[in-house]
Structures are given as structure tokens and as C-alpha cells.
């Protein structure tokens, strides 16, 4: 499982970057969502995977018994998921407005603000 995870993260990152660089607007949405997923999964894996244990201290004890998973990356992950959700929701609405206003789903048409 731990051997598989880095490859999964890498694949997610590369696929999302491919989608972000694609010129179709809908693929930009997919790319941004997948990129968020990739960073979240990376955060989860990099904190270390412990199977079958929880970071909860038993009632009769003072400290948790090792091996237990580090709760901090999980807390970070939870925050990051919420923030990522907000950003992605905003991005989807924005992309829809861009499509409605500019009447194009081709990112190559969106070069007017770059011109001198």
C-alpha cells in the first residue's frame, strides 16, 4: 500500500497538470479539482500511514500507546480539504461565468488582457 501511494500521488499530479494546461475550460475545472486532491493525498501520505490504529487515548491511560498515527497531518488535511472545497467552488462558478460572458470554451481565445 505504501509503495503504491507515491505513484498514485505522482499520477494525480501529472494528470491534473495536463488538464490545467489543456485549452478546454471544462478540463481546467477537472484539473484544479484533481490538483487539490493530489496535494491532499500527498499531505496524508507524507504524514506516515499507520494501519488499523487511531490516535485516541484510551480512557484509563495518560498517553496513547505507540504505534498510533500522527494526528497533526490529519488535522492539516481536514483544513486543507475545506479550503480547497471553497476555492474549487469559486473556480467552478467563475469558469461558468467566463463561459457565459465570453461565449467560448477555448482558453486560447482569452488573450485580450495580455495584449499591449
Binds another protein (CB under 8 A): choice among 11, 72, 78, 85? 72
H/E element holding 95?
helix 71-102
Binds another protein (CB under 8 A): choice among 39, 68, 69, 105? 39
Q: Can residue 83 be called a binding residue for another protein (CB under 8 A)? A: yes
Place of cell 499530479: 13
Q: Can residue 48 be called a binding residue for another protein (CB under 8 A)? A: yes
Rounded to the nearest 10 degrees, the angle between the axes of helix 25-46 and helix 71-102 is: 170
Residue 53 Cα distances to 14, 66, 83, angstroms: 32, 9, 27
- Which positions touch another protein (CB under 8 A)? 20, 28, 32, 35-36, 38-39, 42-43, 46-48, 72-73, 76, 79-80, 83, 86-88, 90-91, 94-95, 97-98, 101-102, 110, 112-114, 116
Amino acid at each position: 500500500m505504501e509503495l503504491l501511494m507515491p505513484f498514485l500521488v505522482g499520477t494525480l499530479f501529472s494528470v491534473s497538470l495536463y488538464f490545467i494546461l489543456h485549452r478546454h475550460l471544462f478540463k481546467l475545472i477537472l484539473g484544479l479539482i484533481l490538483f487539490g486532491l493530489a496535494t491532499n493525498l500527498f499531505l496524508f501520505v507524507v504524514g506516515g500511514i499507520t494501519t488499523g490504529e487511531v490516535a485516541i487515548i484510551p480512557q484509563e491511560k495518560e498517553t496513547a500507546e505507540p504505534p498510533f498515527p500522527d494526528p497533526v497531518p490529519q488535522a492539516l488535511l481536514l483544513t486543507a480539504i475545506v479550503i480547497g472545497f471553497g476555492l474549487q467552488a469559486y473556480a467552478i462558478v467563475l469558469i461558468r461565468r467566463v463561459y457565459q460572458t465570453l461565449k467560448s470554451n477555448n482558453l486560447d481565445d482569452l488573450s485580450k488582457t495580455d495584449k499591449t
